[in-house]
Amino acid sequence: MTVRIEHLVTSGTFSLDGGTWDVENNVWIVGDDHEVVVIDAAHDADAIAEAVGDRRLTAIICTHAHNDHIDAAPALAERTGAPIWLHPDDMPLWKQTHPDRQPDHWLADGQVIETAGADLTVLHTPGHAPGAVCLYDPGLGTVFTGDTLFAGGPGATGRSYSDFPTI
């Protein structure tokens, strides 16, 4: 089987620092006809599970722990049995959304997560969030950046838990 990348957009809200905004989020499904990983389980566990279909979900990988990237992760994990992966530096953000549920595994810089022939290398990229990560697969020629990068530049860094103030 050939590894492929599937894209799903989900809608919901992002809340931080006393504000809440309507947002759309990218959910990425990487794998083949038999097994996949989900990158950023945002907003709608049912829609994500439907996109995964009858394939085995081997991991739910969180690029960072802002609520709009992780809010559906526990429900998706419960539904599929897949473990949730998060960088430990994002636990303060995770606890704001899921105070009674811990991630199952920790992401570490340089770690490789394998699925269906894809080798996703974890790159710790703090800035937008302390535990932000990107996932790079040279074989796919792809980097999944979460919110480390926005269209036109770096992800927002002027909020709580980010490393640099906005200029």
Q: Is the pLDDT of residue 76 over 80?
A: yes
- CA–CA gap between residue 22 and residue 58 (Å, rounded): 30
pTM of the model: 0.93
Average pLDDT taken over every residue of the chain: 93
- CA–CA gap between residue 63 and residue 166 (Å, rounded): 21
- CA–CA gap between residue 97 and residue 158 (Å, rounded): 20
Q: Which of 87, 91, 97 is nearest to 146 (CA)?
A: 87
What six digits make up the tokens of 46? 């049912």
| Every domain of the chain and the residues it spans | 4-154
Residues 128-149 have a mean pLDDT of 94
Q: Is the pLDDT of residue 16 over 90?
A: no
Residues 26-36 have a mean pLDDT of 97
Residue 145 to residues 27, 34, 56, 66, 155: CA-CA distances in angstroms?
Answer: 11, 25, 24, 14, 9
Counting residues of the chain whose pLDDT is more than 70, the rounded percentage is 95
What is the reported pLDDT for 164?
Answer: 58
CATH code matching the domain that covers 4-154, chosen among 1.10.287.3510, 3.60.15.10, 3.30.300.130, 3.60.20.10: 3.60.15.10
Residues 33-61 have a mean pLDDT of 98
What is the reported pLDDT for 52?
Answer: 98
What is the reported pLDDT for 167?
Answer: 44
- CA–CA gap between residue 73 and residue 80 (Å, rounded): 10
What is the reported pLDDT for 71?
Answer: 97
Q: Is the pLDDT of residue 165 over 60?
A: no
Counting residues of the chain whose pLDDT is more than 90, the rounded percentage is 84
Residues 37-41 have a mean pLDDT of 98
What is the reported pLDDT for 1?
Answer: 63
| b/e map 137-146, b = 16+ CB within 10 Å | beebeebbbb
Residues 70-77 have a mean pLDDT of 98
What is the reported pLDDT for 51?
Answer: 98
The residue among 71 and 164 whose pLDDT is bigger is: 71
